[in-house]
Structure 1
C-alpha cells in the first residue's frame, strides 16, 4: 500500500487514576514474587478507569476526535474496530449507537474481533484497503478501547500488567496529517501452532515470531522507500523490552531506535498501545513535523503489523472527562 492514506487526527483517552501493583498484591491477585517481578521491570502502576464503562470511553474519545479535527460525519464511510479483549459484555449495539449519535449516516460499522489479536495496525491496513475502493473524500474512523472488567484480568503472566485506555483515529486520502507511506499486517497461524508443537504447551517463544516480523518490517520500509536510518523512532506495542532488544539484534540495528518506555508508563493497553505511545511522543515533542517513524506490533495470535509514516503538523488530542 503506497502513500494513498493519511492519519488525519488521533485522540486518546488515558485515565488519570492509577492502579498499583501493591494494591493487586494486597488483594491476593498477585503473589509477592509476581509483584516483585513487575516492579523490577519498572511496572509499578497502570491507568485504571473506575467510573466509565468502555462504551462511554469510546464516546468520550470519539467526541474529542470529531470536535478537534472537525470531521464531516457525511464523509465517514466506515467505522472499524480491531480485536478487543474485555470490553463488550453488553447486549447494546455499541457501534450502532455511536453511528446514530454522531450522524455517520453513510458509514458501515464493523469489528475485526474474530481475528485474534488483530490490532491497531490491522485496522489501519483494512482502512487503507477500504479507502482504495472509495471516493477520494471518504474517510474511516478507527476505534479501539481496553478496559478490564475484573481485577484478576490485569495480570499478564510474569512480565505485564494491563491498563485501561481508548483511542480514535481518522483516516482518509485527502486529509492533512501524518502520511502513511506504507502499512502491512499479516497473520501467520503456523507461527502459533509451531510454537505449541515444539514446547507441548500453550505458549509461544518469541523467536518463532521474529523471522516473519523482521520480514514484514523490512518489506514495509522498502514499500515506503526508506531504511532504518531514516526513522526517528520505532514505536512498538507494549510487550516485553527483551522482545525488541532481540529483534534489534536480528535486524542489525541499535535497540535505541525502539521506544520501550510504554510498559513502565502505561502497562499493556493491548490495541491501544500504539496510538497512546504515539500521542505521548508527539505531545512531548519527541516526534516533530517531517519526522519519519514506524509503528510495529506483535500479537500472540500470530498477527504482525508495521506502518511507516511521516509526522504532520497537527498534534494528537487528549480526551478528558468533563
Structure 2
C-alpha cells in the first residue's frame, strides 16, 4: 500500500503543578550559582513537575483526546509508546500493553520505541507510516503516545544542559488522511557519543562543539528532502532543551531566530520525547499554524541522535 503519512490529531497534556527551577534545585544538588546559570544563560525558569502523578495518569489524557478524532468504524492497528528512558516501570509491567488496554484497544498491536531517546517520538511516527503501508488493512490508524516522569534526580538533570519536566503527548496517524502531511523525516546518529549521561568530560565537550552544526545540517537535509527551501518553512518547532544550544544552532545555520518557536523553554523546560508536540499544540491554540504552510519538528536525543520531520499543516475543525 502506498500513501503519505498524515497526522490526524496531535494532543498534549501537562500536569497542573508548576514549580520554579529553584524549587527542585536542592533535590538535584544544584548550587544557587548553578540555578542562576540555568535561568540567565540556558533560559529555564519554570517546569511542570508533580511527583504525585503516576506514569499512566500522565500518559493517558492526551491519548484519549487524540482518539476522539478517530472516524467512526475505523480501527487502531498499532499503539506505539515512544519514550526516552529505557526503564519506566517494574519488569513485570509492559507499559505499552497497559496503555493499549486502558484505552480500550485490545486488538491493536502495542509496543515501545526508545532507541533514539528524545527523538523516538518522531521515529515512531515514521515507523507508524511504514507499518501502515506495509501490512495494515486499508484505512487503519496508528496511535503514537509519549510521556514519562522525571522520577529521580539522576534522570531529571542533564548537567550543564537541561532540567527535565513532566508532560505527555499523542498523535493519531494514518495514510492519505486530511491531517498534516509528513513530507520528510531525517535522522543522524553520532555513535561516538553513545554513552549519553556517562560521557567523559572530553566527550561532552566534543558533543557540544558539533551539536549546532550537525543539527543545522539535519534540519536543512529534511527541508531539501521535502522538496522545499528553508525560506519556505514557516516555523521550526523544536525541543525545549535550553536556549543557549538553540542560539548556537541558529547562528551556525545563519537563520532568522524569529522562525524558531522557543517561547515554551522558560515555561515548561525539556519534557523528554514530548517537547515538539507540546509546542505544536501551543502554536495551534495561538492560531499560529497556517493552513498549507510548512513546519519542521526537531529534536535531539542523547546517544546521540538528531532528528527533523517536515510537515505541511492542514487546518481541521476541533
State the TM-score, normalizing by the size of structure 2.
0.87
CA contact (8 A) 1:231 1:294 kept: yes
Q: Name the residue aligned to 1:55.
A: 56
Equivalent pair of 1:241/1:260 in contact (CA under 8 Å): yes
* TM-aligned CA distance change 1:281 to 1:314, over 3 Å: same
Look up the match of 1:136: 138
Aligned length: 312
Unaligned 5+ residue runs, structure 2?
A: none
Post-superposition offset of 1:255: 2.5
d(CA) in 2 for partners of 1:73, 1:48: 38
| Cα distance between partner residues in 2 of 1:240 and 1:74 | 40
Deviation sequence 1:152-201 (CA, Å, 0-9, x none) = 643332342211001010011142211112222332314558xx999644
Counterparts of residues 23-102 of structure 1 (less than 5 Å): 23-25=23-25, 29-40=29-40, 41-67=42-68, 69-71=69-71, 75-85=75-85, 88-90=88-90, 91-102=92-103
Where does the alignment leave 5 or more consecutive residues of structure 1 unmatched? 317-322
- TM-score norm. by structure 1 comes to 0.86
Moved more, 145-154 or 53-62: 145-154
CA contact (8 A) 2:28 2:157 kept: no
The residue correspondences of 1:192-211 to structure 2 (distance < 5 A) are 192=194, 200-202=202-204, 204-211=206-213
Name the structure 1 match of 2:11: 11
**Residue correspondence of structure 1 range 217-232 to structure 2 within 5 A:** 217-232=219-234
**Contact 2:14-2:48 within 8 A present in 1 as well:** yes
Q: The residue matched to 1:88 in structure 2 has which SS?
A: coil
Q: Deviations over 1:14-38 (max 9, x none)?
A: 1121122222245573211111112
Question: Is the CA contact (8 Å cut-off) linking 2:83 and 2:272 kept in structure 1?
Answer: no
2:263 aligns with 261
Cα distance in 2, alignment partners of residues 59 and 107 from structure 1: 16
1:319 alignment partner in structure 2: none
Aligned to 1:186: 188
The answer to whether the 8 A contact 1:230-1:292 is kept is yes
Structure 1 residue 127 corresponds to structure 2 residue 119:
no
1:105–1:21 distance in 2 versus 1, CA, 3 Å? closer
